[in-house]
């Protein structure tokens, strides 16, 4: 644990100048550690893995190989953003894997939340392993570990952890932001030129929309969730002061609606917004009723299969932030 302890003399990174100093220091350290070697990174598009990718691109360029796995459970526009930012703008050596059918076929009919998580995690490792075996000369594995991951679990977060790889694919770890807190990672990301909607990306569970499409995932309900979630994030994001996290879920139930004078069964979209400091407790902020009505009208008018919108005002405890 000693080499995983943040140096007592390390200054908090709160300004662009401190971020630039950290970047210079890390680029030098990465070049020293890696030399002419090649590094493999599972790039989710979240702030931690994105900052690690940007740091490594600056340090070793094309000797970084980024693998972005689209498992079909990402938010609207996220895979496209990863390709645009890293391949098109940063000229990264990026491998994009369309594994949507593979994941959703595995998840078909699975309703139990923990089983869904295990399927998603295990399948991700298998996809990543397959891509790694196609590559030659990889000697290092980069991960988006940050300091709270070490403090809380003495390890790395599950959706960045590919520790399930077989022995012959165990590489030397590269963890350039492992002594940073989340707010520091964001400051560094800004200094590296990453876009704001990536740097200030809301917390997102490792299984993605898989735990917000409550119960057994169906493709049509998942697409409805993706579209509704984009509307929720767009409209609440317009407020002068936004909550710490805001999204929506679609439970695996239907309710009666009326359309063209006929009754039909449709899904319920549940809006969730919370404020928290430590994620152990969470309060529910007030959302202007006019904003809720705009969200309601847009979702019902444009998202197929949805006929009801609700607002979850439950606090933690006793409710958790996520529905599953």
Distance CA 305, CA 262 (A): 14
Q: How many CB atoms lie within 10 A of CB 174?
A: 26
Residue length of the chain = 324
H-run or E-run covering 219: helix 219-236
Q: What is the pLDDT of residues 253-288, one digit of tens each?
A: 999 999 888 999 999 999 999 998 877 899 999 999
* Angle, helix 100-107 to helix 113-133, in steps of 10 degrees: 150
Task: Scan for tokens 């990889």, then name that residue.
Answer: 138
Q: Look at strands 254-259 and 262-274 and give their pairing.
A: antiparallel
Q: What is the pLDDT of residues 46-96, one digit of tens each?
A: 899 999 999 999 999 999 999 999 999 999 999 999 999 999 999 999 999
* Dihedral-angle region of residue 261 (phi above 0 means left; psi in -120 to 50 means alpha; beta otherwise): left
Task: Scan for tokens 């970047």, then name that residue.
Answer: 23
> Tens-digit pLDDT profile for the chain (324 aa)?
457 788 888 889 999 999 999 999 999 999 999 999 999 999 999 899 999 999 999 999 999 999 999 999 999 999 999 999 999 999 999 999 999 999 999 999 999 999 999 999 999 999 999 999 999 999 999 999 888 888 866 544 444 455 567 777 778 999 999 999 989 999 999 999 999 989 998 888 889 999 999 999 999 999 999 999 999 999 999 999 999 999 999 999 999 999 888 999 999 999 999 998 877 899 999 999 999 999 999 999 999 999 999 999 999 999 999 999
Q: Which domains does the chain have, with CATH numbers?
A: 2-199 (3.40.50.620), 212-312 (3.30.300.10)
pTM of the predicted model, to two decimals? Answer: 0.87
Distance CA 223, CA 278 (A): 31
DSSP 3-state of 47: helix
pLDDT at residue 162, as a whole number: 55
205: which 2 tokens?
Answer: 């569970």
- Residues with Cβ < 8 Å from 262, sequence gap 6 or more? none
Sign of CA dihedral 194, 195, 196, 202: negative
């Amino acid at each position: 644990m000693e080499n995983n302890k943040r140096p007592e003399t390390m200054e908090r990174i709160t300004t662009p100048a401190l971020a630039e100093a950290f970047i210079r220091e890390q680029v030098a350290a990465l070049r020293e550690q890696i030399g002419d070697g090649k590094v493999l990174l599972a790039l989710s598009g979240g702030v931690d893995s994105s900052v690690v990718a940007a740091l490594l691109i600056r340090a070793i360029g094309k000797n970084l190989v980024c693998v972005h796995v689209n498992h079909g459970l990402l938010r609207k526009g996220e895979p496209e953003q990863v390709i645009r930012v890293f391949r098109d703008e940063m000229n990264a050596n990026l491998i994009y894997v369309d594994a949507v059918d593979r994941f959703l076929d595995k998840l078909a009919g699975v309703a139990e939340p923990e089983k869904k998580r295990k399927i998603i995690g295990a399948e991700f490792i298998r996809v990543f392993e397959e891509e790694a075996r196609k590559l030659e000369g990889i000697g290092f594995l980069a991960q988006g570990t940050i300091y709270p991951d070490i403090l809380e679990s003495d390890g790395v977060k599950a959706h960045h952890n590919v520790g399930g790889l077989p022995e012959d694919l165990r590489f030397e770890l590269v963890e350039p932001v492992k002594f940073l807190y989340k707010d520091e990672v964001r400051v560094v990301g800004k200094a590296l030129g990453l876009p704001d909607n990536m740097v200030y990306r809301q917390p997102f569970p490792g299984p993605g929309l898989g735990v917000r499409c409550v119960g057994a995932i169906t493709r049509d309900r998942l697409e409805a969730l993706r579209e509704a979630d984009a509307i929720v994030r767009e409209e609440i994001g317009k407020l002068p002061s936004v909550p710490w996290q805001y999204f929506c879920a679609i439970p695996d139930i239907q309710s009666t609606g009326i359309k063209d004078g006929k009754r039909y069964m449709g899904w319920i979209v549940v809006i969730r917004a919370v404020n928290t400091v430590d994620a152990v407790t969470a309060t529910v902020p007030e959302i202007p009723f006019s904003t809720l009505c705009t969200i309601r009208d847009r979702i019902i008018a444009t998202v197929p299969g949805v006929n009801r919108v609700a607002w979850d005002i439950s606090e933690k405890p006793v409710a958790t932030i996520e529905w599953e």
